[in-house]
Structure 1
Amino acid sequence: MAVSSKVKGDIVASEALSSRNQLIGSNRSRDMDLWPLLNLVPNEIRMKISRVYTFGQFGTELLFTTLDDKTYGIGMNTSGCLGVGDNINSLEPRCVESFNGKKIVGMSSGCGPHVLVLTEDGDVFTWGHNSYMQLGNGGTAPGLIPSPLSRHFCKKAIQVACGSHHSMVLTVDGEVWAWGYNNCGQVGSGSTSNQGAPRKVTACIGNKKIINIGCGQTASIAVTDGGEVYSWGYNGNGQLGVGNNVNQTNPCRIAALQGVVIQQVICGYAHTLALTDDGVVFGWGANSYGQLGSGNKANTVTPLQVASNMGRVVTIAASHYSHCSAAQNQNGQVWMWGQLRQQPTAEPKLTSFTNLNAVFAHFSGPPISWRPMVVCSEAEPSVHQSVSAAFNDEATSDLKIVSEGKVIYVHKALLKIRCDYFRRMFQSHWGENNQDTVEINGYSYSVVYSFLQWLYTDHVELPPEDAIGLLDLATSYCENGLKFQCQRLIKEGINEENAALLYAAAIKYQAQDLLDFCFQFCLNHMTRVVQTDSFRILDKEMMLNFILQAAAKGAFKR
C-alpha cells in the first residue's frame, strides 16, 4: 500500500496483531441478537429498529417498530397475529400498513395469539385470535389487520395487558376495562360469562385510581395509587394472594400486603410478583418450579418476600407464557429464578445480563419478550446509530481520506479508537502539522470505502472479488475481525464463474487458507470451472501450476 509522501514518514505499521475493538453501541447489538428472527431483517431496516416484541406459545412471532414509525411482522402468523392481512407465515419482514405514521409505545399478546397495541396518542388496536371475543369487537371472527378499539371504547389508554384469552386496558384517568374469556371471572364482571366488548371493572375498585395492571393466564391484578393490590379470576394455585384457592369474579383486595406500598405487579403463568416502593419483592401462587424465589417449591396463597439478597429492586418481570421470574436492581444487576431452561431454580441467581428480556430470550420456555424491548428511541438514538450515521459526513468530519481521486469524510478520534494502524499514524507530531488529508493508493475506492465503513458500522457488504482486496488491506492494518469477515464473504460468494478469479487473487495476496479453499472448490467443480472466462484469462504459469496440483489430487484419472 502507498500513502502520500507528506505523511508517509510518520506512519508506523503495526506488526503485532491488534485485538478487535468492541463495537461502539455493542449493547444495542447484543439486545438485537436476543431474537434470531431479527437476523433475517435486511440491514437497512434493522438499523432503524426501535422496539421489538417476541410472542406466541412457541416464541415464533415477532413484531418490531422502526424510527420512521413503521411496524413490521415476521415469523409464524397464527390466527393472523402479525396483522398483515392474512395468516401466511413469513421469514421476511412484512409491513403492518395500519400503523404507518403511528408511534407505538406498548404491546401485549395472548396465547391464541391475539395482540393489543397502544399508540402514543392513547389509542388501542387489536387483532389475531378471537374465539373468546378477546379482540373486544363483539364478534368471534379472527382479526387479520389491526382494528381500533375506539369503536367500542372511547377512553385514552396508558397500558394494555393480555391473559391467555382475555384483555385489559388501563386508562389515563385510572380506570380498568376488560373483555374476552371469562370462565374464571378474570374479566371482573361479577359473572363467568364471556365479555364481547370492553367493560369497566367497577366492583371494589370503581372509585379508586389504578396505576398498574397485569394478567396471568386466567387471572387479573391491579395496583391503586395508594399502593393497594386487587386481584380476580382463577385462583387454583393461590395466584390471587387472598389466602385461599377460591376463584374471584370481582376484584378482591390482598389484605396480606396491607402496611406496604406496592408500585408494580406482574403475572407469570400461575404466579404473581409485586414490587414495593422501597425495592422489596413479594411473590405468591404456583411455585413448583421455584418461580416465587422463596428457596423452596411450595405454593403459597398469601404473599411472601422473595429472597432479599438482590439489593434494592427497581423492576420485576414475568410473563403468562412461562414459569420464569426476573428482577433488576438499582445497580443494573439482573437476577432470575423459576423454570430456567426446564430446570427448577428456587432461589434468585445473579446473571451477567444487563437487559431483563435476555432472561426470557435465553432461559424461558417459550423464548418471548416479557414486554416490548426498547432498542432505540427517536429522541435518544443509540451510540451505534449515531456513529454509523457520522460515516462520510462532511459536516462533522475532521479528516479526508482520498482514494482514486474520491474523498471519504472521516473522524480522527474514531479511527484512532477503532484501528491501531491509524492510532500510530496520528501521533502528536503528525497532528501538529494540522494534516487534514490522507491519500491511500494501491487499493480501489470501493475497498477503501468499505474498510472505513466497517470501522464505523462493523458491517461489510462487498462482492467476493472486491473482498479479496479488502482482505489484503485488513491484513496490512492487522485487523483480524475484518479479515474474518472478508474470508466469510469470499467463501460464501464463491461460485463456478468466479472460482478461478478468486483462486488467482488468493495467490496474489498470499492468503493460504483462502487459496486452499478456492482450490478445493475448483477441484470439486473442475469440468465447469475450466470452461469459464475467469479460468481462461489466468496467466499460463498459474494455469499450469493449477493443472499440476489438480493432477496430483487425482483430477485426471486414466
Structure 2
Amino acid sequence: MSCEGESRQLQLLFSWGANSYGQLGLGSSNDELLPQPVTHFPDNKRVITCITGGGGHSAAVTDAGELYVCGQNKDGQLGLNHTDNVPHFSFCSALRSIRVSKVSCGWDFTLILTDNGQVLSCGSNAFSQLGIPQVKSCSVPEPVQTLHEKVTDVAAGLRHTLALTESGQIYQWGLGMASHAKRFSCGNPISPFFTAKEPCQIPGLANIRGKKVIAGSYHSVALTDLGELYVWGSNKHGQLLQKEPFGLQPQKIKSHFFLEEMIQSAWSGWTHLIAQTDCLWI
C-alpha cells in the first residue's frame, strides 16, 4: 500500500576496487573487481547527497546532514574517537547535534563543512593539513578556529586544504605542496600559503570572487563566479594548462581551451582535471 505524496525512490550504493582497509563499506577487506552493493546504507529513509574517498577511507553525507564513514582509521581520519579500521559505513556520532553539508577526504585526513559554515577536520596533522596548530592528529572532528567568516566550500588535496568563504575569498593551508614549491622557486622565497599551518589567504585572488575550490594531489584550483579557472601548484602532467612545471602563483587558464565558454563546474583527480561548461553544443 502506498500513500500519495509519500513515495520515495530507493537509492542503491555500489563500490568496487581496492579494499585493504574496508574503504568499500562492504564489511570485509577483500578487493572487488566488480561493483558490489553496499547493504544497509543508505537505508530507505536517507538519500546520499555527498560522497567521497581519500587514500584509504570513504565518507558520505545524507540529506539529514549525517556523516557516515568507513575504511582506514590509523590517524583518526574517520572521526569516531578511535583508530581502528571500520569495514562498514558508520555514523559519526561526534557530530550528532551538527548538520553536515559537505565532506572532503585527503590522503589521511577528513574535512567537514557544516550547514552553518564551520569547518571541522580530523585525522593526521603531520603536514598541518588540519589547520589546527600543535596537534599531531585528531580522532574527533575539531573546528578550524581561525576561519572567522562563514565557509561555503572546502577541498582536501593529498596533504593540503582549501576553503572558500561567503565573500568569495580563498584560503589554503598545509605543507603538502611546500617541497615542490621550493624545488621550483630557484632559491627565491615562496608564498606563505605554501607553508601555512593555519588558513592563509591566497595572494593574487583578492579581486576575484570564488565559486568553488578544487584540490588535486599537489595542485589547487579556484572556479570564479565569472566561470574562469585559476590554477597553481604541480603541472607535471599538464593538468594546469600552463608552460611552467609548477605554478608558484595562481594563473588563469585561457578561455580558448574551453571554446570561450564559461566554466560551470570542475573536478580534480590526483593529477588531472575535468571541467564542464555552461553551453550545450548540439
Paired position in structure 1 for 2:267: 317
- Alpha-carbon offset, residue 212 of structure 1: 0.7
Verify: 1:232 aligned to 2:173, yes or no: yes
Quick one: which of 73, 91, 113 aligns to 2:15?
73
Paired position in structure 1 for 2:191: 243
Paired position in structure 1 for 2:160: 219
- Alpha-carbon offset, residue 243 of structure 1: 2.1
- Alpha-carbon offset, residue 98 of structure 1: 3.9
Cα distance per residue 1:48-67 (max 9 Å; x no partner): xxxxxxxxxxxxxxxxxx94
Paired position in structure 2 for 1:260: 208
Paired position in structure 2 for 1:548: none
Paired position in structure 1 for 2:43: 100
Q: How does 1:85-234 map to 2 (within 5 A)?
A: 85-90=27-32, 91=34, 93-101=36-44, 102-111=46-55, 113-152=56-95, 154-191=97-134, 193-203=136-146, 205=147, 207-234=148-175
* C-alpha spacing 1:88/1:200, structure 2 compared with 1 (3 Å): same
Q: How does 1:358-373 map to 2 (within 5 A)?
A: none
Q: Secondary structure at the match of 2:28?
A: coil
Cα distance per residue 1:55-111 (max 9 Å; x no partner): xxxxxxxxxxx9413333334422111212222334462332242212111111111
- Alpha-carbon offset, residue 328 of structure 1: 1.6
| Partners of 2:14 and 2:255 in 1: CA distance | 41
- Alpha-carbon offset, residue 186 of structure 1: 0.3
Q: Secondary structure at the match of 2:250?
A: strand
- Alpha-carbon offset, residue 125 of structure 1: 0.5
| Partners of 1:75 and 1:265 in 2: CA distance | 27
- Alpha-carbon offset, residue 298 of structure 1: 2.8
What amino acid maps onto 2:20 in structure 1?
Answer: T
- Alpha-carbon offset, residue 218 of structure 1: 0.2
* C-alpha spacing 1:279/1:100, structure 2 compared with 1 (3 Å): same
TM-score (norm 2): 0.86
**In the alignment, is the contact (CA less than 8 A) between 2:154 and 2:164 conserved in 1?**
yes
What amino acid maps onto 1:262 in structure 2?
Answer: G
| Partners of 1:332 and 1:170 in 2: CA distance | 31
| Partners of 1:135 and 1:126 in 2: CA distance | 6
| Partners of 2:193 and 2:203 in 1: CA distance | 15
* C-alpha spacing 1:217/1:119, structure 2 compared with 1 (3 Å): same
| Partners of 1:129 and 1:318 in 2: CA distance | 22
The gaps in structure 1 that reach 5 residues or longer are: 1-65, 334-353, 355-558
**In the alignment, is the contact (CA less than 8 A) between 1:315 and 1:329 conserved in 2?**
yes
- Alpha-carbon offset, residue 149 of structure 1: 1.1
What amino acid maps onto 1:263 in structure 2?
Answer: K
| Partners of 2:117 and 2:194 in 1: CA distance | 27
Q: How does 1:277-288 map to 2 (within 5 A)?
A: 277-288=225-236
What amino acid maps onto 1:199 in structure 2?
Answer: E
- Alpha-carbon offset, residue 131 of structure 1: 1.3
Name the larger-Rg structure: 1
Cα distance per residue 1:421-449 (max 9 Å; x no partner): xxxxxxxxxxxxxxxxxxxxxxxxxxxxx
| Partners of 2:87 and 2:120 in 1: CA distance | 23
What amino acid maps onto 2:249 in structure 1?
Answer: T
Paired position in structure 2 for 1:308: 255
Q: Secondary structure at the match of 2:241?
A: coil
Paired position in structure 2 for 1:407: none
Verify: 1:331 aligned to 2:273, yes or no: no
Q: Secondary structure at the match of 2:140?
A: strand
* C-alpha spacing 1:178/1:137, structure 2 compared with 1 (3 Å): same
Paired position in structure 2 for 1:429: none
Q: Secondary structure at the match of 1:248?
A: coil
**In the alignment, is the contact (CA less than 8 A) between 2:67 and 2:95 conserved in 1?**
no
Q: How does 1:407-486 map to 2 (within 5 A)?
A: none
Paired position in structure 1 for 2:185: none
Q: Secondary structure at the match of 1:285?
A: strand
What amino acid maps onto 2:237 in structure 1?
Answer: Y
| Partners of 2:11 and 2:110 in 1: CA distance | 25
**In the alignment, is the contact (CA less than 8 A) between 2:14 and 2:35 conserved in 1?**
no
- Alpha-carbon offset, residue 244 of structure 1: 4.7
What amino acid maps onto 1:317 in structure 2?
Answer: W
* C-alpha spacing 1:255/1:153, structure 2 compared with 1 (3 Å): farther
Verify: 1:291 aligned to 2:216, yes or no: no
| Partners of 1:245 and 1:254 in 2: CA distance | 6
Paired position in structure 2 for 1:340: none
**In the alignment, is the contact (CA less than 8 A) between 2:12 and 2:37 conserved in 1?**
no
| Partners of 1:232 and 1:92 in 2: CA distance | 36
| Partners of 1:87 and 1:202 in 2: CA distance | 36
* C-alpha spacing 1:280/1:246, structure 2 compared with 1 (3 Å): closer
**In the alignment, is the contact (CA less than 8 A) between 1:153 and 1:198 conserved in 2?**
no
Q: Secondary structure at the match of 1:99?
A: coil
| Partners of 1:287 and 1:70 in 2: CA distance | 37
**In the alignment, is the contact (CA less than 8 A) between 1:184 and 1:247 conserved in 2?**
no
| Partners of 1:167 and 1:312 in 2: CA distance | 31
What amino acid maps onto 1:194 in structure 2?
Answer: S
Task: Considering fraction of residues, name the structure with more strand.
Answer: 2
What amino acid maps onto 2:233 in structure 1?
Answer: G
| Partners of 1:70 and 1:100 in 2: CA distance | 9
What amino acid maps onto 1:72 in structure 2?
Answer: F
**In the alignment, is the contact (CA less than 8 A) between 2:157 and 2:218 conserved in 1?**
yes
TM-score (norm 1): 0.45
Q: Secondary structure at the match of 1:154?
A: coil
- Matched length: 261
Paired position in structure 2 for 1:423: none
| Partners of 1:211 and 1:173 in 2: CA distance | 9
